[in-house]
Structure 1
Amino acid sequence: MEARATAKYMRIAPRKARLVAKNVKGLPVEEAVNILKFTPKKAAKVLNKVLDSAVANAEQLGGVDVDSLVVKQIIVDEGPTWKRFMPRAMGRVNRILKRTSHITVVVEEGEEA
């Protein structure tokens, strides 16, 4: 039995979020939460919230042992990019790209590693 949670339009670049997501993929949920709690990156806080939501979704399914959940997948897709402009010298302008992410976490029941 698997459960998933999705956070869309999160204001973090997908490349930065994937760095943190790679660290917890395939781990038991309890261990993944501990790693995310002590990772000093913005993406860790976002991923922790999505992981908590996926665990809560698994609880709602019924018949699922929450203690034996494992992070099956963490998918970080690129969302829409916000285009902003910053004034520069001599009347010029530079384009600033503020990237967003769609984060999906899938947990499933499995034996702890």
Structure 2
Amino acid sequence: MEARANLKYARISPRKMSIVLDLIRNKPVDEAMAILQNTPKAASEYLVKLLKSAVANAENNHSMDVSRLYVSKCYACPGPILKRIRPRAQGRAYRVLKRTSHVTLVLKEKE
């Protein structure tokens, strides 16, 4: 049995998100929450909220024991890219790509 939570269209690049996801993969939920709350990265704010949502899904929808949960899978996929224009010298324009992420977090119970 597994519980999952998804975050769609997060305004942070998947590359930055996956750095923080690597820190919490295969960790117990309480340890993962402590890591996220003490990590000075922008992605950790998104992931604290997502982890709380996944724990709530496990507890309420699947009646799993919260003390035995761990992060089994977590990954970030690229979402749509917002294309913006940055003015440059002599009337030129440079394109700025603002990337988004779709994040999935899966919790399982330890046997």
* TM-score normalised according to structure 1 size: 0.95
Map of 1:106 onto structure 2: 106
Superposed, 1:1-113 pairs within 5 Å as 1-110=1-110
Unaligned runs of 5+ in 2: none
- In 1: Cα distance, 2:46 partner to 2:62 partner: 26
- In 2: Cα distance, 1:24 partner to 1:57 partner: 18
Per-residue deviation at 1:61?
2.5
Local SS of the residue matching 1:74? strand
* TM-score normalised according to structure 2 size: 0.97
- In 2: Cα distance, 1:86 partner to 1:64 partner: 50
Q: Deviations over 1:34-85 (max 9, x none)?
A: 0000000010111111111000000112431111100001010000000000
- Which moves more between the two structures, 77-86 or 58-67? 58-67
Question: What amino acid does structure 1 have at the position aligned with 2:35?
Answer: I
CA RMSD of aligned residues (A): 0.9
How many percent of aligned residue pairs carry the same amino acid? 51
Is the Cα–Cα contact under 8 Å of residues 3 and 62 in structure 2 kept in the other structure?
Answer: no
- In 2: Cα distance, 1:52 partner to 1:28 partner: 13
- In 2: Cα distance, 1:72 partner to 1:31 partner: 13
Unaligned runs of 5+ in 1: none
